[in-house]
Amino acid sequence: MHALHQSRQRSLWNCLLALPTLSPLQAVYSWNPSLAKLSAALVECNAEHAVDVIHVEHLRGARYGLYLKSRFPDTPVVWDSVDCISYLFKQASDQSRSGLEN
């Protein structure tokens, strides 16, 4: 497993850039070009153990899947959206103590 720090400023900048587009904010929130490049390098360097499939989970990983698919068009990408994001947001809203109306 590899992880890179994602600053709050980077996530906010990603969302700001996406506002005038049709991209969902959840899909751009976690985008980190360095992590995308690292992911591609890991797929490339696996020559002796070829990658059979790229597995992406959650909407926040969808952009990484698209990036990797553009780099490795012959490798299948499976997007596994296991969560119902709208239901998770509803739960968070119901449990919020902010005092804002649901």
User: Which residue's entry shows tokens 């904010």?
Assistant: 25
Tell me the pLDDT of the chain averaged across its residues. 86
pLDDT at res. 16? 96
Is the pLDDT confidence value at 78 over 60? Answer: yes
Give the pLDDT mean for 47-61.
84
Do residues 13 and 29 lie in contact, with contact meaning Cβ atoms separated by under 8 Å?
no
Is the pLDDT confidence value at 34 over 90? Answer: yes
Is the pLDDT confidence value at 37 over 70? Answer: yes
Q: How far apart are CA 28 and CA 18, in angstroms?
A: 7
| Percent of the chain residues past pLDDT 90, beyond the cut | 51
